[in-house]
Each structure stands twice: as C-alpha cells, then as structure tokens.
C-alpha cells in the first residue's frame, strides 16, 4: 500500500508539474495583458499534435522538444501581433470571445487535419523502461518529464526574479502603464511574453503526449483544470502557480487510489475549499 | 373614471409597452416564416437567456461566464423532475428555475467577492466545476449519453380541460407566453428604481457605495435574477428538446449567449433578441452545410470582436438618432436660410 501511495505521489508530482507550466503561462499572460487566454489549452493540444507530426517526420522525440516550442511561440506571437494586440484595455468579455474563437477554430482545424479520433503517441525508445528505487518502480519517461519540468520552472523563476526582462514582467503585472511611462517598449515585451507563454504551453503538450496520448479535445479539459489551478494559486503569482499546480496534481492522483471517478471533481472541491478560506487564492497579490 | 381618462390611460399603456407588442407580433409570425418551428423555438429560448444576461451585463455591468451553468442546471433539474417526480408542467418549470437561482446565489456570492477579471475567472471555474460534476456523476445525469425518455407534459390547469402541447407549434406558443412575460418583467426591472441603482453601479460602483447602497448585495441580486431567467429558458428548452445533455452546461452555451448579447448590442434588451436570431440561424445554417462548422463560428467570433464591437442594435439606434436630429434640423435650417 505504501508503495502504491509513493508511486501515486510521484505520478501526482509529474502531472502537477505539467499543470504548473501551463498555469504559469496563463497567469503571466493574465497578469501582464489582463487577458483570460482561452487559447491556452489549444496551444497545449497544438504542441502535442505538432510533436506527432515532427516525430513522424524526423523520427526523434528530442527534435520535437526543440522545434515544437519554437513553432508554438511563433504562432503565438503572430496571433498577439495580428489579433490580441487590438484588444488591450477593452472589455474582458471581448478578449474571452476572441481567444475562445481562436480556440474553437484551432481545435476544429486539428480535427480537420488529423481526424476526430485520438492517436497513441509512442514513448521515445531511449526513455522507455523503469527505474527501481527501494522496490518501487518509476517509469523512466516520467522521471525525465519531472526533471525537465523542474529545470524549466527553475529557469522561469530565475528569468522572472533575476533578469531585466523578468523585472519588467513583474512590474507590468503591477502596473503596465507605469512601466511604459518609464520608457520601456511595452508592445515588444508583451509579444515576447506571449510567445514564451505559448512556447511553454506547447512544450508541456509535447511532454504530456506520450503519457496520455493525443486527441483534439485534450486542450479543453486541461484548460478547465488550469483555470482552477490559477484560482487556487492566486492570480499573477509565480509561487502561486507552482503551489496550485502541485496541489491539483497531487490531489488528483491520490484520489484515484480511493475513488477514480472523482479525479477531476476533486480539483474543484479543493478550489472551492481554498476560496472559502482565502478568497484571493493561496498566494494572490491583487484583485 | 371618464372614458377620456380611460382611453388616455390605455394610450399610455400602449405607448409604454408598444415595443413588447411588436416583439410578440414578430414572434407569433416567426414559426410560419422560418424553415421549421423548432428553429423559432430555439431562437426564442436563447433570446430569453440572452436578454436575461443583458440585464446583468448591459444594465448592471456584472460580468460572468457561467450562463451555461444556470441554463444547463435548469435543463437537468427539469428533466429529472419530469422523469422521477411529477408530470405537472408548472412544477417542472418551477424546479428548474429554483435550482438555477440556487446555483446563482452560490456563484454570485463567490464571484462578487472579487472584481474585474478575477471575478470572471471565478465564474468560469465554477462553470467548469458544474460541467465536470455533470460529466462524472453519470448515475444522475447520464454522463455523456445524457438523459433521454423525457415526455413533454400537457398543460393541465385545475378545472380546465387539458391542452395538448405535443405538437411543436402548440409548445411554441406555450413558451411564447413565458417569453413575453419574462421580457416584460426584465424590462420593468430595468425601468424600476432598482434598475436605476443597477445602472449607477455599472457607471461607478464606488460612488454608488458612497451614496449608501450595498453594491455587493445588488450584484448578487442581479446574479440571482439573471440566473432565474436563464433557468426559465433552460427549463422551457428541456421540454422543447426532451433531452438533457452535458452539452447544455458546457462553456459553448455561455460563449454563444455572450455572443448574442454583444452582437445584438448590450444594454438594449431588444438587441440580444436580434443577436440570438442571428447566432442561432447562422449556426443552424452552417451546421447543415459542413461537419466542421465550428471553424466558421470561431472565425465569426474573431471577426465580430475585431470589427463589430458596438453591436447591431447599437448601430441601429445610432442611425435612428442621426436620422431624427437631421429631421429636426432640416426645417430650422430652411427657416434660417429664408431669414437670411
């Protein structure tokens, strides 16, 4: 039983780290541009499907890890420049409708190109198999995903806390107009930020694909979970996204031990409980 | 009371409610003009939900993205009542409306704790919660298969012979009565002192607070009123389609309702009806033509947000205003020209 719990805790951490990456992007975009990005789930799905194509074409999973985030970043930046930029400062409902329109058009495009039925995604040969530590088996691929996501999260933390661009992001989350008054080219920063968020979303799609397979509606499900994650963690907070993601991942994988059918509902129960105690989320900094 | 006073009162009543009479006349004609009655019914019920949301967004500035929860919970509640409890049509509608309002109390209470985009995100998260509960609690909701075998009850009022509602046309006119009455109520709310407070909150919440209004209470009230009318739309929809499915609590419904209000023009009440007409008709046409019609809808969303933010009714009112001012100006300018 203890073995099982430890294995599930590990699974929960891996799952949670994927949520962390997605929630981080959602939270940064929200904090900087005040946009609730409904297309975030689309980019997750897009990452997985692009990985499917690139892997078939190049034969290597590791090429995907490099190429796909660049591709999703490029698509994201294109969208920001052509569409989202026109909506800054508008009513939030317009932004939701716009990003939602992008999300459904993109999802249907995926169905059109790849078919409505899901596909399986093979694990890379190099990473198949299990490691046994003290009698408990850990799949190598999950260990790999855990390592990559931890590194990426630490990298993002370093960028946000220690670099000039990061300080612009933090300042922009507080007050974007003021930052622009200080003589910083906001529109370039926003485009880049959106691109990076979409790159991370695409990369988490690539990482998740071998664990769960790919299907056109994968983005919809994950988007709902990400909203809950951001609400739990609190808006515009990096540590909040990390805490929220891990809480969601862990509660989801631990509840499957007792009651597998409640694996999604538990997220929202946790969310409601946290909101009752702390309406602004765990680490929320402002309205 | 003299007959003169009576006629003047009638005239005032007519003046006040003329738009509603026109609306009713339009909806009486619809089922005979549109390709099939079901389409008219769908337009009407979504128009009702859209008008209810317009009361929230356009008049009170209360933003939310959980319309589908109110609508869909009422669909489920009505379906379950008809399946397990009673076949009384009014009881079924009442259960639908009450359960939607109950959800609205909870969501409204939570969402109004915060403001701006955070509040919208809270309503979204609650909508997702209700969606997943409906999805996973399949013993109650039928999960992805939905609830089938719902029988549309007949209209039975005590002491009167029962009226059959089985044909789509008779059910259409039955729900039309509800639609017109609900529209009348919502319009009265916007014209009442309560409605003026809502508009004050929309314009400047802090000032409304400073005057002494408990704005949060008003906002929760708006959630509940809006939720109740969206619930009414859901309850009537359930008996129209005789089916309950998780699609009706899905975000797509919320998105459509918001789209209807914004396309039509928010804060106009009549605009959302036009918006519902356009959106339902467009999706009906597109879905008949192409399996992947959602692409078209997605692109429509994007194009609308880019180019038509004011809404159709707003455009129409602007046109009307310029036309009126021109008409008023023109004799003056003639006089001015004559005198000079």
Which residues have CB under 8 Å from A206's CB, separation 6+? A47, A48, A50, A51, A64, A65, A68, A69
Chain mean pLDDT for chain A: 87
Query: How many beta carbons lie within 10 A of that of residue B16, not counting itself?
Result: 12
Look at residue A285 and tell me whether its pLDDT is greater than 70: no
Residues of chain A contacting B297 with CB distance shorter than 8 Å:
101, 104
Q: Is the reported ipTM for this assembly greater than 0.85? A: no
What distance in Å separates residue A229's CA from the closest CA in chain B? 9
Look at residue B265 and tell me whether its pLDDT is greater than 60: yes
Query: How many beta carbons lie within 10 A of that of residue A184, not counting itself?
Result: 15
C-alpha dist (Å) from residue B173 to B180, B269, B321: 10, 21, 34
Confidence of residue B103 (pLDDT cuts 50, 70, 90): very high
Q: Tell me what the mean pLDDT of segment B22-42 comes to.
A: 86
| pLDDT, tens only, B104-150 | 999 999 888 887 778 888 888 889 889 988 888 888 888 788 888 88
Distance CA B134, CA B246 (A): 6
Confidence of residue A194 (pLDDT cuts 50, 70, 90): very high
User: CB contact, 8 Å: B299 with chain A?
Assistant: yes
C-alpha dist (Å) from residue A102 to A95, B195, B222, B299: 11, 36, 30, 7
User: CB contact, 8 Å: B136 with chain A?
Assistant: yes
Which of A97, A262, A265 lies closest to B262 in CB terms?
A: A97
Look at residue B335 and tell me whether its pLDDT is greater than 70: no
User: CB contact, 8 Å: B262 with chain A?
Assistant: yes
- For tokens 């609190």, what's the residue? A234
The predicted structure's pLDDT at residue A131: 80
Percent of chain B with pLDDT over 90: 36
CA B155 to chain centre: 24
Closest residue in B to A94 (Cα) is B305
Conformational region of residue A122, where left means phi above 0, alpha means psi within -120 to 50, and beta covers everything else: beta
Closest residue in A to B136 (Cα) is A261
| pLDDT, tens only, B216-264 | 999 999 999 999 999 999 999 999 988 899 989 998 899 899 988 988 8
Residues of chain A contacting B294 with CB distance shorter than 8 Å:
104-105, 107-108
Q: Which two three-digit tokens encode residue A18?
A: 């994927």
| Total CB pairs under 8 A between chain A and B | 125
- For tokens 């769960």, what's the residue? A212
Confidence of residue A71 (pLDDT cuts 50, 70, 90): very high
Distance CA B183, CA B225 (A): 12
Which of B135, B259, B298 lies closest to A105 in CB terms?
A: B298
* B110-117: Cβ within 8 A, 24+ apart: B110/A275, B110/A279, B111/B64, B111/B223, B112/B216, B112/B219, B112/B220, B112/B223, B113/A279, B114/A279, B114/A280, B114/A287, B115/A287, B116/A34, B116/A92, B116/A287, B117/A30, B117/A34, B117/A36, B117/A92, B117/A235
| pLDDT, tens only, A34-50 | 888 889 999 999 999 99
**Phi, then psi, of A214 in degrees rounded to 5:** -125, 145
> Mutating which of A93, A251, A262 best tests the B interface, going by the most B Cβ atoms within 10 A?
A93
DSSP conformation letters of B181-222 = HHHHHHHHHHHSHHHHHHHHHHH-HHHHHHHT--HHHHHHHH
DSSP conformation letters of B260-329 = HHHHH-TT-SHHHHHHHHHHHHHHHHHHHH-TTTHHHHHHHHHHHHHH-TT-HHHHHHHHHHHHHHHHHH
Q: Which helix (H) or strand (E) segment is B180 a member of?
A: helix B168-191
- Cβ distance B299 to A231 less than 8 Å, yes or no, reads no
Residues of chain B contacting A280 with CB distance shorter than 8 Å:
114, 118
The predicted structure's pLDDT at residue B232: 95
Distance CA B253, CA B232 (A): 15
Specify the DSSP class assigned to residue B246. Answer: G
Q: Which two three-digit tokens encode residue B306?
A: 């880019």
Closest CA to B77 of B93, B90, B96, B94: B96
Confidence of residue A56 (pLDDT cuts 50, 70, 90): confident
Q: Which two three-digit tokens encode residue B128?
A: 């997702």
Look at residue A74 and tell me whether its pLDDT is greater than 90: yes
Chain mean pLDDT for chain B: 86
CA B136 to chain centre: 28
The predicted structure's pLDDT at residue A20: 93
Largest CA distance in chain A: 59
Which of A86, A94, A231 lies closest to B122 in CB terms?
A: A231
Would you say A284 and A240 are in contact if contact means Cβ atoms under 8 Å apart? yes
Which of B136, B255, B301 lies closest to A264 in CB terms?
A: B136
Look at residue A16 and tell me whether its pLDDT is greater than 50: yes
Would you say A197 and A76 are in contact if contact means Cβ atoms under 8 Å apart? yes
Confidence of residue A286 (pLDDT cuts 50, 70, 90): low
| pLDDT, tens only, B166-221 | 888 888 999 999 999 999 999 999 999 999 999 999 888 899 999 999 999 999 99
- Cβ distance B128 to A227 less than 8 Å, yes or no, reads yes
Q: Which two three-digit tokens encode residue B145?
A: 């298969």
What distance in Å separates residue B337's CA from the closest CA in chain A? 45
| Cβ-based burial of A133 (10 A; exposed 0-12, middle 13-18, buried ≥19) | exposed
Distance CA A69, CA A49 (A): 12
Distance CA B30, CA B199 (A): 33
| pLDDT, tens only, A216-236 | 888 888 888 898 898 888 877
- pTM reported for the whole predicted model: 0.85
Distance CA A109, CA A192 (A): 25
Distance CA A206, CA A222 (A): 14
- Cβ distance B125 to A105 less than 8 Å, yes or no, reads no
Q: Where are the alpha helices (DSSP H) in B34-115?
A: 37-54, 60, 67-80, 89-111
The predicted structure's pLDDT at residue A287: 47
Which of B115, B131, B294 lies closest to A287 in CB terms?
A: B115
The predicted structure's pLDDT at residue A189: 87
Closest CA to B62 of B179, B225, B213: B225
- For tokens 């509040």, what's the residue? B119
């Amino acid at each position: 039983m203890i073995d099982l719990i430890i294995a599930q805790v590990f699974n929960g951490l891996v799952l949670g780290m994927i949520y962390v990456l997605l929630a981080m992007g959602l939270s940064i975009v929200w904090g900087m541009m005040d946009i609730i990005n409904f297309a975030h789930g689309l980019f997750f799905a897009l990452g997985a499907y692009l990985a499917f194509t690139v892997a078939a074409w190049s034969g290597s999973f590791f090429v995907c890890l490099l190429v796909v985030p660049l591709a999703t970043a490029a698509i994201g930046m294109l969208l920001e420049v052509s569409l989202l930029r026109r909506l800054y400062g508008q009513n939030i409902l317009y932004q939701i409708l716009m990003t939602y329109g992008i999300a459904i058009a993109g999802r249907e495009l995926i169905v059109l190109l790849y078919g409505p039925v899901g596909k399986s995604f093979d694990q890379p040969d190099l990473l198949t198999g299990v490691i046994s530590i003290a009698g408990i088996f850990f799949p190598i691929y999950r260990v790999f995903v855990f390592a990559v996501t931890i590194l990426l999260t630490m990298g993002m933390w370093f960028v946000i806390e220690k670099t000039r661009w990061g300080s612009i992001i933090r300042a922009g989350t507080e007050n974007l107009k003021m930052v622009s008054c200080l003589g910083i080219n906001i529109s370039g920063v926003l485009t880049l930020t959106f691109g990076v968020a979409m790159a991370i979303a695409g990369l988490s799609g690539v990482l998740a694909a071998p664990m769960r397979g790919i299907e056109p509606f994968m983005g919809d499900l994950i988007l709902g979970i990400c909203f809950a994650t951001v609400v739990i963690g609190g808006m515009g907070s990096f540590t909040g996204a990390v805490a929220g993601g891990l809480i969601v991942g862990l509660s989801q994988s631990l509840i499957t031990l007792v009651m597998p059918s409640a694996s999604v509902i538990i997220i929202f129960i946790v969310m409601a409980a946290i909101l009752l105690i702390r309406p602004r989320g765990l680490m929320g900094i402002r309205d | 009371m003299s007959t003169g006073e009576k006629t003047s009162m009638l005239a005032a009543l007519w003046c006040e409610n003329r738009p509603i009479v026109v609306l009713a006349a339009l909806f009486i004609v619809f089922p005979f003009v549109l390709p099939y009655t079901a389409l008219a019914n769908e337009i009407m019920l979504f128009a009702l939900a859209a008008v209810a949301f317009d009361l929230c967004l356009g008049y009170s500035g209360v933003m939310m993205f959980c319309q589908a929860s109110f609508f869909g919970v009422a669909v489920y509640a009505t379906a379950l009542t008809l399946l397990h409890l009673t076949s009384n049509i009014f009881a079924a509608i009442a259960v639908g409306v009450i359960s939607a309002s109950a959800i609205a109390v909870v969501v409204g209470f939570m969402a109004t704790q915060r403001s701006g985009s955070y509040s919208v995100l809270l309503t979204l998260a609650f909508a997702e919660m209700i969606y997943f509960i409906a999805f996973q609690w399949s013993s109650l909701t039928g999960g992805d298969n939905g609830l089938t075998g719902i029988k549309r009850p007949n209209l039975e009022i005590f002491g009167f012979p029962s009226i059959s509602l089985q044909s789509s046309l008779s059910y259409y006119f039955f729900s039309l009565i509800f639609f017109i009455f609900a529209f009348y109520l919502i319009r009265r709310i916007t014209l009442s002192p309560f409605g003026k407070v809502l508009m004050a909150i929309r314009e400047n919440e802090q000032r409304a607070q400073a005057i002494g209004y408990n704005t949060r209470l008003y906002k929760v009230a708006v959630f509940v009123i809006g939720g109740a009318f969206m619930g009414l739309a859901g309850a009537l929809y359930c008996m129209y389609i005789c089916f309950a499915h998780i699609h009706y609590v899905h975000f797509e419904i919320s998105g459509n309702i918001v789209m209807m209000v914004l396309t039509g023009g928010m804060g106009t009440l009549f605009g959302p009806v036009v918006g519902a007409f356009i959106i339902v008709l467009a999706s009906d046409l597109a879905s008949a033509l192409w399996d992947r019609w959602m692409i078209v809808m997605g692109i429509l969303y994007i194009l609308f947000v880019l180019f038509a933010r004011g809404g159709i009714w707003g455009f129409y009112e602007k046109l009307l205003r310029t036309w009126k001012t021109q008409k008023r100006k023109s004799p003056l300018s003639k006089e001015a020209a004559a005198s000079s």
